[in-house]
Chains A and B, each alone.
Chain A
Amino acid sequence: MDHPLTVSHPLTGGRTRQYAKSQWLFVALLVYLLICAVGIIGGGFKAATGDQARELFTFASNPFAGLVIGTLATALIQSSSTVTSIIVGLVAGGLPVGIAVPMVMGANIGTSVTNTIVSMGHVREREGFARAFSAATVHDFFNILSVVIFLPLEMAFGVLEKLGGWLAAPFFDLGSASINSLNFVKAATAPIVNTAKQLPALLGDQAGGILMILLGVVLIFIAITFIGKLLKKLMVGKAKQIMHTAIGRGPLSGIFSGTLVTVLVQSSSTTTSLMVPLAGSNAFGLRQIYPFTLGANIGTCITAVLAATAVIGNAQAALQIAFIHLAYNVLGVIVIYGVPFLRPLPVNAALWMGDKVAEHKSLALVYILTVFFLVPGLCLGISSLM
C-alpha cells in the first residue's frame, strides 16, 4: 500500500503526465523528421548523381573500401543508426545495394568504439577496468568476427543481398495492396521532402542535390541524437523491468532483453555502454553481458527499417538494405552464438584484452586508434591502390 505522504498531488501528477505526453509527441515529431531526412538524402543523391551513382561510387565497389567507409563514418559520428539511415537514403537515391552491404557491416564495427571509450572511465581501479574493458571489447570482437565470416560469403555468393531482396520483395509484390498504396507515412512526409526537392531547381542539380544530402545528414543526426536522449529518460523504467525479468534466466533471454532495450532506447551504443558499469561493478559477468550485447546489434536495426518504409525513390532497394542489416545481425548471432567453437571466441579475446590493458593502460588508447582508425585507414589506402 502506498504511504499517504507518497501519493502525488493530483495537480502535480497531471502535470507529470502532461509533460510525458509532450515528450512522446516530441519523439513522434523527431521520428517524422528522421523519415523526412532519409527521403531528402535519397532525393538529393538522385539529383546530384543523375544515373551516375554507380560510377560515382566506383571507389567503394571494392568491398573493403565500403567496409572501411562504414567503420570510419560510424566511429566519427558515434551512431550506427545515423549511418545506416544515411545509407538507406543513399540507396533510395540510386546507390547500388551491393556497394552498400559492406558499409552497413562497417557501421557495426564503428559503433562499438563508443562503449570502449566509456570503459576508460574505470581506469582508476585495476580489476574494474579489466572487467569494464572486456565488457566493451566483447562487442568489438563479435562484430569483427561477424565481418570475417560474412564478408567473404557476401563477396563470393551475395548471400545477404539475396536474402535482403527476398525479405523486401513481398512488400512490393502484392499488386494494389503494395507498400506504396498503403503507405500513409510516405504521404505524410511528401510535403517536406518535395519542398527540399526545390533546392536542385533553384541551385542546379549538383549543388542543390549536395545541399539536400547535407541537410538530410544534419537532420538525421539531430533526430537520432534527441530521440536517444528522450527515450533514455522515458523508457528507463521499462528497461529496468525487462532487465529484472532477464536475471537468472538463460542466454536467449539475455539476447531478447538486449534487443528489446535497444529498440526502446533506439541506440545500440546506449545498451552496450550500459553494460560497462554493470560489468565494472562485478555484479554481471562477461558471459552474462555477452548475449545482451548481441541483442543490441539486432535491436538497433529497427531505425533503418522504419526509415526505409517511407522513402521516396528506389523504395524496394532501400527496404532491401535495411533488411540486409537486420538479416546480417540476426545471422551473426545465430552463427557465432549457435556454433559451439565460435561462441567463446569473442569472450576469450575480450578477457585477454581486458587483462592486457589493465596491466599496460596505455594499450587501451593504442587499441582504439589501431582497430577503429589506423587499420581501416590503411585498408582504405591499400584498396584505393588496387
Chain B
Amino acid sequence: MSGRLTWIAVVGCLLAGAAGGQVADPAERLLADARNKADGGDLEGAIVDLRTVVSRFGESESAVAARIAIGEAALQLRDWEQAIESAQAVIDAAPRSAAAASAYVILGEARLGSREAEAEAAAETFARAWDLFPGGGREVPARASGRVREGEVRLLLGQVAPAEKAFLDVIESRSMNARVSRAYRGLARARIARGDWLAAIEALQQGMDRAGRLAEADPEVADDLAAMRRLAAAGHRLHLRDDGALPWSKSSLVSGVEFKRPIAVAASPEDRVVIFDRGLDQVLAVSPDGQVERHPLSGAGRPFWLRERWWVPVGAILQTAGEAPQPVSGEVEYKAVLTGAPAGLGAFLLTSRPDSVVRTSSSFAVRQTIGLPPRAEIADLDTDPLGRAVMVDRRAGTVLRADAEGVAELASGLDKPSAVAVGPFGYIYVLEDGDGVTVLDPQGRRVLTAGPELPGGQVLKSAEDLAVDGSGRLWIADPGAEAVILLE
C-alpha cells in the first residue's frame, strides 16, 4: 500500500517539528535523528530511536510526538499491530489532545490495513478524530484528515450520502491545507457516484480553484489537483461536448513500442496504462508521460489496476512489478483468473473453472461468488463509481451489473461484446465484435457508438480489449492492427 496516496500525512508535521539546525533538547535531538532515519528509508531504525524517546521521556510532549511517529512508521511497514498499539497509547494518555486526533487517524489506517472486515470500524475511528474536536479556535489538521478519510472509506463502502457529508464538513470548515483539496476530490467522486455530474463538475472546479493555490508547495495537493483535472477533462468529454459529437476528436497509435499482438489493455485513474502483448510476451507499463517499462511474461490474462498497482493474472496467480505473486485462495481451486477490477478494499475477479465472478479481500482471498444468469459467458468486467461490478455477457449480448441486491441486466442487444470498461463518470464503454465501441450511460442507455473508423482516421480491425483512463481517453488493444489505439 502506498502511504502517500492513501494516507494523509498527519504525522510528518510532528516529526518536522524537530527541524534542522542545532537541537539542544535531548528528546528533540532523538526525534530529529529518527526523522533523518525515516527520511533515509530506515523506518525500523527510526522506530528504535522513537522508542527510546518514549521510554526516557514518557510523560513529555516529545514522547507523544514519538508515539505518533512510531505509528506512522509502522503504517508504512504495514506493522498494523504496532501502529495500533502506539496510537492507542496516545489516545489513552491524552484523549482530548490534538495528538489524539492524529492517533485516531493512524488507528483508522491500521484497522483499514489489517482487515477488510474492519472498514466500517475504520470509518468510525476516522470519525472520532473529527468528533473529538468541535472545531473553532486553532485548527487541528488531523481532525480534517480523519473526516476526509472517513468520507473516502464510506465511499468505498458505497455510503455516498455520509461520504458526501464528510467531505462537505471539511470543505466548509476553516481548513486551509491538503485536506480541503482531498475533500473536494472526494466530493466530486461522491457526486459522480450519485449520478449528479453537474454537481460533480462544480465540485471539481471549486476544488481546482482551491488546490491551485497550494499545489506548488504541497505534493499531496498537486496529486489532488492532477486527479481533479483528469476528472474535469473526462466530464467535459462526456457532458459538455458539442451536439452529436463524439467525446474524442482524434485517434492515434501508441508510439514508442512495436506491438505484435496486443490483446489486453488497462488504464488507471491516474492515466497510467498497462498493456499485455501476447506476441511479445511482455507486459508494457506506460506512464502518463509516455515512458514504457517492459516486463517479460507469457500466458497472461487481461491486466487490471488495483490500489494504484497493475496486476496481471497468470493462471490463478496475480503478478505485479516489485511484489511477490499473489495466489487467489478460496474454498475451491481456481484454474485461471481472466481479469479483475477493484471492489471496495478488495477485488472482483473473473475466473475460469468454475466460470464465475468472485469478490475477494485485499489479499485475494475469495469472500463471495457473484450469482450470474445461467449460461452466462462473462467476457470482461470492470467497476463503476459505486463499486458495483459491470460485466459483459458475450453470449447473451448483454451488460450486467452486480450490487448487493444481485445481478441485473443493464443493457442488451449488443453484438458479441468482448470487453467492457467503466469511465470515471460511470459511463460504460463496450467493445463489440472487434470493430465497434458503444457507450452507455450509467443507466445503460446507449449514448453513442464509434468504429470501425475512428475520428482521426484510425480503423478498428479485430480489437480485443479497451480501457478508459482518468481523463476519459479510450485505449483499444487491436492485435489485428498490431497496435494500441488512443482516442482523445
B and A form one assembly: no
**Chain B residues with a Cβ under 8 A of chain A:** none
**Chain A residues with a Cβ under 8 A of chain B:** none
